[in-house]
Amino acid sequence: MESKMKRDAMKLETLLIHAGQEAESVTGATIPPIHVTTTYTQESPGVHKGYEYSRSANPTRANFEAVLAAAEGGEAAAAFASGLAATNAIFHTMRPGDNVVAFADAYGGTYRLLERVFKHWGLQARYSEDTSPAAFKALMDGKTKLVWIESPTNPMLRVLDIRALADVTHGVGAKLAVDNTFATPVLQRPIELGADYVIHSTTKYIGGHSDVIGGAVIVKKKADMEPVSFYQNAAGGVPGPFDCYLAHRGIKTLSLRMKQHCHNARRVAEHFDGHRELERVIYPSLSSHPDRALAERQMRGFGGIVTFVIKGDRERCFRFCKRVKLFSLAESLGGVESLLNHPAIMTHASIPKEIREKRGITDSLVRLSVGIEDADDLIADLEQALG
């Protein structure tokens, strides 16, 4: 496709469909075939067509990595078997004795990886409870090699100033990694704002149909991909070709889906803001959200996640969770269908209770992944469950 039209001249919606999708040379197939081979025949030892073994490289995976890099505006991408495998690869670019500064409100799996895997390995994690760049800078020193953030965060939906954090991070010679799973490149492109790494759980919005697990790392500069690619091959946490095909198929409709996710989520948030059965509704477009102005400036939409804090005790919250009909009570997010998650019991259970609650993740908090169904039907379902 780049031979027909320069990549930087294409709009995102076009890139999502055409990047990584050259017509197959033998038959002219518009959709490239899925290469399920594990190995590749060589003409003589070491003489081959760029592929040796599918853990190291696979054409179907290469096509998916090409569209990921194009979507985020990076120079290279690496696909992994899960979002946590991608996260693991970034942390492995550091060395024992280094430290990473992260925002406190983070996915429970990231916290578990830092505190129960890499802490014993010799990596120190420091957590900022404040979103300001000054608060992050106060935690940095000569051993800080990485700043890790999500924006919006999971599940409190704080929005962090990526450009300002990039400036502070680069000022101490560190790299900035942004988990862009919630926003996707449709709503936010962190590399354009100064980030060095972008991470995705492609399981979520990129795949978009709750049928494939995957992850990805995209880099601003190709040189930063070298240690990531080495780890990808050496540790072997790669996705299979069918997984890459499904995620690649999903990303083609990402822009359309995100528009509907954002529309529906905003409808839900605005309808339930101030509801008699809710203590609080958290969504970046609401006037009560502390980062609304930043979200309007930094993002091209407010996302598909809405967080509710239910009035009453844990049992009252559980009753709500069990009464929903269109929202499936399930882990994950970002599929076309609506999901309801109880973070304290489900996605963030690995964070100790006292830390969770300090960060606002109480037994009364639920996270909604608002799907692309009709918004009126979703609102009616939530109303009956709260009644």
Tokens for 242, please give them: 């069918």
pLDDT score at 6:
64
Q: Write the CATH number of the domain with boundaries 254-386.
A: 3.90.1150.10
C-alpha distances (whole Å) from 353 to each of 156, 360, 363 are: 16, 10, 10
Catalytic residues: 55, 107, 179, 204
pLDDT score at 4:
47
pLDDT score at 354:
95
Are 178 and 195 a contacting pair, CB within 8 Å?
Answer: yes
Q: Write the CATH number of the domain with boundaries 7-251.
A: 3.40.640.10
- Asked, colleague to colleague, whether 7-251 and 254-386 share their fold, the answer is no
pLDDT score at 9:
78
Tokens for 194, please give them: 């100064």
Residues of the chain where predicted confidence (pLDDT) is lower than 70: 1-8
pLDDT score at 25:
87
Question: Distance between CA 208 and CA 199 in Å, rounded?
Answer: 16
The domain limits of the chain are 7-251, 254-386
pLDDT score at 198:
99
pLDDT score at 1:
41
Measuring CA to CA, which residue among 218, 183, 179 is closest to residue 84? 179
